[in-house]
Chain A
Amino acid sequence: MLHPMPYFGGFALLLALALCVYTLFSGAISLRALSTGRQLRVPAENLRETARRAGIASFLVVSCAAFALIWAAFTNDFSVDYILHHTNRALPALYKFSALWSGQEGSLLLWSWLLAAYGFVMRVRDKQDATLHAYASTILSGIQIFFLLLLVFAAPPFAIAPGPLHADGFGLNPLLQYPEMVIHPPMLYLGYVGFSVPFAFALGALMMRYPGEKWIHITRRWTMVTWLFLTCGICLGMHWAYAVLGWGGYWGWDPVENASLMPWLAGTAFLHSVMMQEKRGMMKVWNVWLIFVTFMLTILGTLLTRSGLVQSVHAFAQSSIGDWFYAFLVIVFAVCLFTFFHQRDHLRAENSLQSLVSRESSFLFNNIVLLAACFTILWGTLFPVLSEYVQGSKVTMGPPFYNRVAVPIGLFLILLTGLGPLLAWRSTSLRSIRRNFLLPCAAILSTAIILMITGLRPWNEAGSSTGAIYSLVCFSLAAGVITAIVTEFLRGANVIHVQSRRNLLSSAILLTRRNTRRYGGYIIHVGIVVLFIGIAGSAFNQSKELEMSYGDSLQIGSWKLVCETYSQDSNPNYDSDYALLDVFHNGKKVTQLAPERRFYNASQQTATVVAIHSTLARDLYVVFEGRNPETDKPIIKVFLNPLVNWIWIGVGIVIFGTAIALIPPLKPGAPSSTTALSSSKVGEEPKAVVHA
């Protein structure tokens, strides 16, 4: 039976390509005519409007293509090669939906769809500045054309499977059959793709020599939302790796993981440095290149992991579309470079740094450290290729490299996270340094001493003492940063409390509402520090492995696991082996865990389902590794991972802080801010200090 959906989807992609080409060319011609004053046969404004509408239509058409692929998955249309290789009849509906992004072609379609969705929102909200939006829309359509060309010519998702029609599909990769995998890739892609928007605005503003910093103001929310999506995407990926891969960790420094972290670091640097442009009209060249680099890193990351240039465990995403990405990257870089040289005189700074000890210089150092971290990861990812070129042999850049190199840089970053907010704009006096830094320094020292008294002595660690030293430094710095931030909150809240007689909590809330961006940012910093505390706990991970039959027990730390039973189960999608383990802590039964190992029938692959007993202090992480072929006994591996929950709590705080920062601040005349009008300066940035 002939299924019409693949043809409908294929046609939709072609139509979307045509619409985007029209948006690009009509947009470019109309903007050229508007900037030079040249008369066209059609009024330039009308042509610009048709380009905008074509861009909007392209979203609807790409949505049709995405819908066609999802429909094909739900109707088991195995005439489509992609559906044949990524689904099967017994696959649960949730994973049929996620099949859209489980392979090369589908994930490119998702990318294109999300890009079209971002473009749709941007084009609909063009009232702020029609010309700047038109520039951004034209640039965005150029990016969209690249992805649609890939979908039409290099990786068509609606290609028909050769040979006779199959009765069932080959199934979805078992590692992807996990609830988080339904949201992790879209989140990550929302993050990747989202950086196209600030990039398009930055390039457009530079092309049209846009006056002022309005493009930054327009793109601030875009950038923050994008950054939030990328943060959530990365952290969901970490949680997925932790809960599914069964090696007891959440970050393996795999090239695919690195590819997502690089734009995150560059984007974080951009979010910080744009504040200098907004506040002081500085760093214009730096900011423009930061967002260019961030966008190019999203493309480079995709190139690295899909071209086969570097080895990755994410083999399901590899293919031969690398040349397309090389070409696109070169074009993007050339356009950025040409535009920059053509318009560089427009980017003259209005102010310059006055002191090494100021908020501006702390932002600058923060940027340098973030970019150094980004470079380190890029370097570590590409060094095997370089080594092969120079020495003729590849090397492995595994966790030991990153732990030695990236961790110290990360610790330096935590230090700056605490220092920066304590410094004033322009210049900070010695007196203010002494006043602001006393408490955080005391917190750092006292935490270090308390930790050593209570037993954290890196010099005594049996394994790697470097990890324990880093942890000690991390915990101490974290205490300092949190103290600094809490002090900042309390100082502002206390002024409101004194003047308006509100309690301290509602004063702190009012303070935050008055300057959501600043205090939301502080909350994000707290989240990042809490996340780092969780990561630092990994220096004290323990693990044990044992063949366990009925009644056997395994002791790890103060925890004891007793094998109650082990059994088998089966359903149309997979067969499973599982063990039931009673968990005792200090002799008292706490819970029962059931680690599982599944065999997926369609794909003929196995996957682990880890059982985790999670507390704030530690995770008891149990893996059913399989059965010993000789004894047929199940092999159970247990990890005791301290502080892992702090990572997920930290992510929650980051999300909360970002949401706060996205809320518009209270206007001076707003009812809830009028009660303390006399303290209207509270919550504003620290003023510059003039030296005597």
Chain B
Amino acid sequence: MPISFAVTEAARVARDHFHEMARAHMRPLSRKYDDLEHELPREWVDWYWKEGRGSGPLVPGPGDGMVQVCMQAEELCWGDAGLYLRMPFAGLGGSAVAAAGTKEQKERFLSVFQADGPPAWGAMAITEPGAGSDSAAIETTATLDGDEWVLNGTKIFCTGGEGASTAPGGFVVVWATVDKSAGRGGIKAFVVPAGTPGMTLVGLEKKLGIRASDTATLRFEGCRIPTANLLGSAEVKRGSKSGDKGFKGAMATFDASRPIVAAMAVGVGRAALDCLKEELAREGVVVRYDVAPTAQTALERDVIQMEAELQAARLLTWRAAAMMNRGRPNNLEASMAKAKAGLAVTKITQKAVEWLGPRGYSKQLLVEKWMRDAKINDIYEGTQQINLLIVARRILDYSSSMLR
């Protein structure tokens, strides 16, 4: 495979399309729905469902065209990361169904996102009050009762959880254990359709950023779903090795989602960097690439570093995505991209606020919002530290018991 950084004409067209969508339909609403926090961004949701959804060359989801999916995520998060997460789409729940579902399940759960009904959302519920990064420690249970699974437990930090649990047509993919004694081997994913009795939306988190995104707490009390809603096999694999294998299968969803989250981070970082450069241009400040380091201003040094960091994050992201396209294992590269992008963009947006001074800190500009939005990228879909742990295990060729 020759080394190439060529962007195909199709990808360029797609990128321009989503950039324009972001500019025209997201940016004008950014401040409003950051301020309104939990309110449904009705203009955006309706426009996207009616006009935006079918207009693009691609819809979000893993598989072919993963690099383009990342480009799309970057463009839309350049527009607004909170609104991106609130758009009516299958989201991470959809990724799980696409990755682990049968043909029948995909048809049953995903077709709504191509249909003409009211807007629908998909979401994934993993985190619990007592189990975050250590997802093997989840305590939500699934008990078989005849031809139904009965779910009991509480899920927090469920992105898109309000829409997915309440709006008809959508669903929440819930991780639960069918046998706590089996450890990881007992953890399975269940599709819970919106409105299923026993699934309650308890509340929405008030957050530092991505305030337009509905981060939900969901309670499951005797929540019954058909056995046909289990993703993958019901068989509990015991023994650390085979049990691990099943768990790893579930974790593989992250290999697809982490590059997308990394791309989302890059979009937010680029928004801040673009804004800084525009403000500088307005003031007649030019960043010079052709002067001695001793002649560079502190500002120039910072801007060049921010550009290099952003591009390094983007290229690591595209590499992880391109490997997935080619069917190559990308677990290491996906975590590298996520770790790099999450941290780089956190720093880039913080620097942009710093350099723009009181205006950067003020709500006149969106930079302060992007700094708040950026930080989540170093936390969700695996924190910086979890991704470093994964990278470390890979480069050291250590199992999870060798490097805990």
Q: Do A and B bind each other?
A: no
Binding site for B on A (CB under 8 A): none
Binding site for A on B (CB under 8 A): none
